[in-house]
Amino acid sequence: MNQKSDLKVHARLSCAPMMDWTDRHCRYLHRLLSGQALLYTEMVTAPALVRGGALHLLDHHPAEHPVALQLGGSDPDELAEAARIGAQAGYDEINLNVGCPSDRVQSGYFGAVLMEHPALVARCVAAMRAAVEVDVTVKCRIGVDDQDPEVILPEFLAHVVGAGCTRVTIHARKAWLQGLSPKENRDIPPLDYDIVHRMKGLFPNLHISVNGGVTTLDQAQGFLDAGLDGVMIGRSAYHAPCDILCAADRRIFGVGGDTNAADTVRAMVPYIDAHLAQGGKLNQITRHMLGLFTGRPGARIWRRMLSEGAHLPGAGSALVLEALAAVETLGEALAQPQEAV
174 forms beta bridges with 143
Query: Of the listed 100, 124, 242, 246, which one is catalytic?
Result: 100
Sorted by sequence, the CB contacts under 8 Å of residue 217 that are 6+ apart come out as 243, 244, 247, 248, 251, 252
Clarify whether 100 is annotated catalytic: yes
Helix 317-335 to helix 299-309 angle (10° resolution) is 160
Task: Identify the burial level of 190 via C-beta atoms within 10 angstroms of its C-beta, where 0-12 means exposed, 13-18 middle and 19 or more buried.
Answer: exposed
* CA distances to 70, 216, 223, 232, 238 from 219, in Å: 25, 5, 7, 11, 17
Catalytic amino acids? 100
